[in-house]
Structure 1
Amino acid sequence: MASIQKRGSTYRVRITREGESTLSSSHNSRVAALQWAKEIKAKLALGLIEETHNPKPSLKTFEQAALCYRDTHSIHKKIVRSETYRLHILIKRWGTLRVEQVDKAAVLALRDDLLKLRRSGDTVNHYFNTISKLFQMLVDEWGLEVNNPIKGIKRMPPSKGRYKRLLEPAETALLEACSALSYQNLISIITIAIETGMRRSEIMGMTWQDVDLPNRKVYLHYTKNGQSRQVPLTRKAMDIFQAITQDGSEKIFSMSLEQLRGQFERAKKYAEAQWIDKSNNPFIDLRFHDLRHEALSRLSDAGLNVIELSCISGHKTLGMLQRYTHPSHQAIFMKLDRD
């Protein structure tokens, strides 16, 4: 039996056979897809196509399917760490079920349980995407006759963007905490984050070859959205780079992401303990990623337009840039009151 499905600008035709492997091919037009199906059916009738005896894989459980997806797909993604974590959560939940038993009802129950745990809509959608991609692999690559349980389920509305700024008094307190704990590298990392708006992974992945001090910029070759970009350096950022002692290693910061997380949390707790105004505690729920929000907001306050901000941040859409940029009222008033 032949079936044709439009996928983007191409037409995918599949010929399923009882007890045999599925034959498939993609074409630029429906006419070409129909012609291919006609030719293949004729060759099958004449016995001109040899069976490769490469049957559908013997995937019996969701765990087997998830591990297969992890080892062949997730491993090549930049989100491998987070997607692997989600897959292992799903394995704990559905591991012993056969893949066809993971249906729409099971996914809706997963959604409800995640919401009860106060997971955000974005987190729920990440689970939906992982499940959908896994079943897409089973259908498209392994030829399994299973339904994608995500089909027909509405995605959750996106979470509201965070509005968390680390103003200068709190920044000073945080850096003083780093100094008191002898976290000199963390002082440099936090300052670079606030001065450049770079992501944590981008900062920790920098090498000395990426830094062009004479031209005051950093080259980022591997970013979240897959596009390289150049980040201009403020004078304060320049001072930080010039003060770092090069120990012969290629990377600027040799600590791991786990070490960075641990030091940042300890410095935050130390600063929180020293903060006098307990009714206005800026360190509650402060995340390292908020430093990126603060950096872009300060650049906006300095008068940079959205095109300039997007070149620095790497955001492709104005909507995402708006979620990261929160100009201060004082900066807005200064612009309004200009003669």
Structure 2
Amino acid sequence: MASVTELPSGSWRVQIRRKGHKPINETFSTERLANAFAKKKEAQLEQIKATGGIKPEKGLTLADCIDDYLANSRELQRSAMAIYKRLKATIGSVNLMDVNYEFLTIFAEERMVGKSTGVTVAGDLSLITSVLKYCKKKRKLDIDSYTADRVRKELGEDHKIKSAEIELIPTEDELGKILRYFDNDRPCIIDMPPLIRFAVATGMRQEEICRILIEDINKNPESPSVLIRERKHPKEKLSRNERVPLLPEAWVIAQQAIGGRQSGCLFPYNSRSVGAAYRRARVGVGVTSGTRFHDLRHLAVTNFFAIGLSVPQVAVMSGHRDWQTLKRYRHIKAKDVQRAYRELKMKEKSSKAVIEGMAWVVEEVKRLRGELAKLERAN
């Protein structure tokens, strides 16, 4: 039952306690308003108990839900914020109850009639799904939270939209130009070359790199590693601490960045500023591919496979939860097959040499034992 009490100030307070729900405490100027609110909230709680959710209020729009979601979510990347801003401007006025399968299918198909690519539309639907899931779970609204996700998947099965199979990976020439941009004594608050090389050597996200604490680095030269705190899960928005090995090149860069310090961030920079500095350098040297700092992670993963690491080993380095995602980076080229063949032949020759050497040692031992036996009989 709701508790409606008058306060010394003359206002009226509503308190509602229900098992499984957060306590509700609201204050109103009149008893009538307080009772109306209490009656409405109790009816909603009864509906949640009976059906698992409440019917969205009349007039609740998609834009209202987007604003609520953004206000109660972790900080999003600027690209996602830009997409939500566009969605609010284009379909934000639509009532939430009308954001159904038919509406979203038409929305996606009309977007593709224009200049939008399938990847862009898939991204729009994914972000709408995040908002609908939030409304279902946090606001207890009785809605189909997976309707946008179904539209995305069904259009993908019809080959109308699909995600990019390979993210943009900077070429050796492009990366060399960008590094030279920073090496030419240009004034820059951020020491970018070590950051770029560390990203390529580790496959870490730029946010992770900028959060690394010197105290979390295991400085054992035999097996250096770093604890990445709250390593995120991109799809489920979960996070956990993970210890990641530092390969030789990354360990050298880390040691140089530490210097004589005992604590603090390994790279004490804002991750967004790092991304902006990389983009300025890319534009400054005339690289037109659109590569971002995040794409260094894709380059790193590709390099890990090139040196022969397995999928599980690469997953430890990159933090990918889904091994299927990593398959896109396993580019098998003719030169890779030739190199693998040569390495196998070299191992085969080495093994053969070892076996032949062991056979010679066995024969030599037998010969020496025979000579020793002769000497003993002669004496």
Taking structure 1 as the reference length, the TM-score comes to 0.69
Q: CA deviation at 1:55?
A: 9.9
Show CA shifts across 1:240-288 (max 9, x none).
Answer: 222225678722223323321221122223444xxxxxxxx7x623222
Partner of 1:23: 46
- 8 A Cα contact 1:315 1:321, kept in partner: yes
Partner of 1:177: 181
Equivalent AA in structure 1 for residue 294 of structure 2: H
Q: CA deviation at 1:103?
A: 4.0
Local SS of the residue matching 2:230: coil
Q: CA deviation at 1:56?
A: 6.8
> 2: CA distance between counterparts of 1:107 and 1:138?
17
Against the structure 1 CA distance between its residues 57 and 251, is the aligned structure 2 distance closer, same or farther, given a 3 Å change threshold?
Answer: farther
Given the alignment, which residue of 218, 221, 235 partners 2:248?
A: 235
> 2: CA distance between counterparts of 1:320 and 1:131?
22
Partner of 1:333: 338
| Aligned positions of 1:1-339 closer than 5 A | 20-21=43-44, 23=46, 60-72=60-72, 75-76=73-74, 79=76, 83-116=80-113, 118-138=115-135, 142=139, 150=148, 153-155=151-153, 156-157=155-156, 158-162=162-166, 164-180=168-184, 181-183=186-188, 185-214=191-220, 215-225=223-233, 226-244=239-257, 245=259, 250-272=264-286, 284-326=289-331, 329-337=334-342, 338-339=344-345
> 1: CA distance between counterparts of 2:59 and 2:70?
14
Local SS of the residue matching 1:316: coil
Equivalent AA in structure 1 for residue 175 of structure 2: E
Against the structure 1 CA distance between its residues 222 and 146, is the aligned structure 2 distance closer, same or farther, given a 3 Å change threshold?
Answer: closer
Q: CA deviation at 1:188?
A: 0.7
Unaligned residue ranges in structure 1 (runs of 5+): 1-16, 27-35, 38-53, 273-280
Q: CA deviation at 1:194?
A: 0.9
- 8 A Cα contact 1:94 1:102, kept in partner: no
Against the structure 1 CA distance between its residues 106 and 177, is the aligned structure 2 distance closer, same or farther, given a 3 Å change threshold?
Answer: same
Local SS of the residue matching 1:307: helix
Taking structure 2 as the reference length, the TM-score comes to 0.62
- 8 A Cα contact 2:55 2:142, kept in partner: no
> 1: CA distance between counterparts of 2:247 and 2:126?
39
Equivalent AA in structure 2 for residue 267 of structure 1: A
Structure showing greater Rg: 2
> 1: CA distance between counterparts of 2:216 and 2:172?
28
Equivalent AA in structure 2 for residue 306 of structure 1: V
> 2: CA distance between counterparts of 1:115 and 1:66?
23
> 1: CA distance between counterparts of 2:336 and 2:227?
30
Show CA shifts across 1:24-67 (max 9, x none).
Answer: 678xxxxxxxxx99xxxxxxxxxxxxxxxx99767533332322
Against the structure 1 CA distance between its residues 134 and 166, is the aligned structure 2 distance closer, same or farther, given a 3 Å change threshold?
Answer: closer
**Which region of structure 1 is more displaced relative to structure 2, 88-97 or 214-223?**
88-97
Q: CA deviation at 1:187?
A: 0.2
Unaligned residue ranges in structure 2 (runs of 5+): 1-39, 157-161, 234-238, 346-379
Against the structure 1 CA distance between its residues 65 and 185, is the aligned structure 2 distance closer, same or farther, given a 3 Å change threshold?
Answer: same
Equivalent AA in structure 2 for residue 124 of structure 1: V
> 2: CA distance between counterparts of 1:56 and 1:271?
52
- 8 A Cα contact 1:211 1:218, kept in partner: yes
Local SS of the residue matching 2:251: helix
Against the structure 1 CA distance between its residues 116 and 208, is the aligned structure 2 distance closer, same or farther, given a 3 Å change threshold?
Answer: farther
> 2: CA distance between counterparts of 1:316 and 1:138?
26
Q: CA deviation at 1:296?
A: 2.1
Q: How many residue pairs are counted as aligned between the two chains?
A: 285
Q: CA deviation at 1:229?
A: 2.7
Equivalent AA in structure 2 for residue 67 of structure 1: D
